Structure 1
């Protein structure tokens, strides 16, 4: 009889942990070069988390720029303002139990540090994920045609080419996408969140 009831007892013990994970908010900030795969990875992870019952919001850097940061340019100061605005919104959402996925280039270390400090001040978890895709592969993917336009002299100030990208020195996780599918990278990130009690 004891053996027959063991699985049910185990399921009951695991349920509170899963429920607690669903209720915990956090910001998962995905930084990397243009066309590194940040947004694709965020959307794949968001779909999996939602299927598991988590409340999730994706704050895409380009979408936010079109609305919340409309009028800002690409100077260092404007980029910093853009990043910290996203960080502020992310922290507010995460503090209410939302899993916030922010695929944002955020090229400067001091801007990312400012976002981390916003979260620390609010007692909200912040995880920096470096989507570490090589410049050569990003240029090959060139999802938005930015690398081609820069090479043709149509634009300047492209992050990682003629404008700096300061890669994180100590991110919570570094995901190398070369030679891997989106599903594999999303699974790695999901496993990491599970280890942190967030999935």
Structure 2
């Protein structure tokens, strides 16, 4: 634990928001591998940026090239992975940017902790359940991960040898077997508009 540290205050969230004329929020996409999370996150980021809304995507794979490259896929490492992302996304939201996180984040408790962290600072946290059946996810399998998991090459793989706990009450539920990428991104965008976040 860090000691001898002091929080250095500057602008309040409200002051920053008024200066740049934007509110911050975290859009937390969760779902099985191959559900469409990252593709939807990319489309949403582009949609927001085209509307001159500052947004940044934090992707499960991309984060593991840098910030979380020291973590594996054990339950302990998965929990730490999400804890770090919760803190980083909170910083983005506090800076009045729209943080778009795209992580399997399989454990409900970890997602609830991310929500609580944002709530402590009165920051918007929107959980998006990117829903797909395991059968369809395995058919898609763009990275060949399900095949490797079924063969025992990949251990602790969510949906096969590790659990996925679906959100109980997500703000947004997207069924990617029925909705296109564009429709899914627009569904999130419209939610943000309708709830006065944009």
Query: Residue in 2 aligned with 1:181?
Result: 180
Query: Residue in 2 aligned with 1:11?
Result: none
Structure 1 residue 21: Cα displacement: 11
Q: For the residues of structure 1 that align with 2:178 and 2:113, how far apart are their CA atoms?
A: 33
- Evaluate the alpha carbon distance shift between residue 135 and residue 21 of structure 1 in structure 2; reply closer, same or farther with a 3 A threshold: farther
Q: For the residues of structure 2 that align with 1:22 and 1:84, how far apart are their CA atoms?
A: 29
- Higher mean C-alpha displacement, 27-36 vs 141-150: 141-150
Q: Does structure 2 retain, via aligned residues, the 8 Å contact 1:22–1:198?
A: no
CA deviation profile, 1:117-176 (whole Å, cap 9, x unmatched): 111112211111100111111111112110111122211211011100000001111111
Q: Does structure 2 retain, via aligned residues, the 8 Å contact 1:22–1:53?
A: no
TM-score by length of 1: 0.86
Question: Mapping of 1:1-199 within 5 angstroms?
Answer: 23-199=22-198
Count of aligned pairs:
181
Give the 4+ runs in structure 1 shifted more than 3 A: 19-22
TM-score by length of 2: 0.87
Please tell me whether Structure 1 or Structure 2 has the larger radius of gyration of its CA atoms. Answer: 1
Structure 1 residue 198: Cα displacement: 2.3
Point out where structure 2 has 5 or more consecutive residues left out of the alignment: 1-17
SS in 2 for 1:23: coil
Q: Does structure 1 retain, via aligned residues, the 8 Å contact 2:150–2:160?
A: no
Point out where structure 1 has 5 or more consecutive residues left out of the alignment: 1-18
CA deviation profile, 1:71-124 (whole Å, cap 9, x unmatched): 212121111110010110100111111000001110001111111111111221
CA deviation profile, 1:6-57 (whole Å, cap 9, x unmatched): xxxxxxxxxxxxx999601000000000010001001101111101110000
CA RMSD of aligned residues (A): 1.7
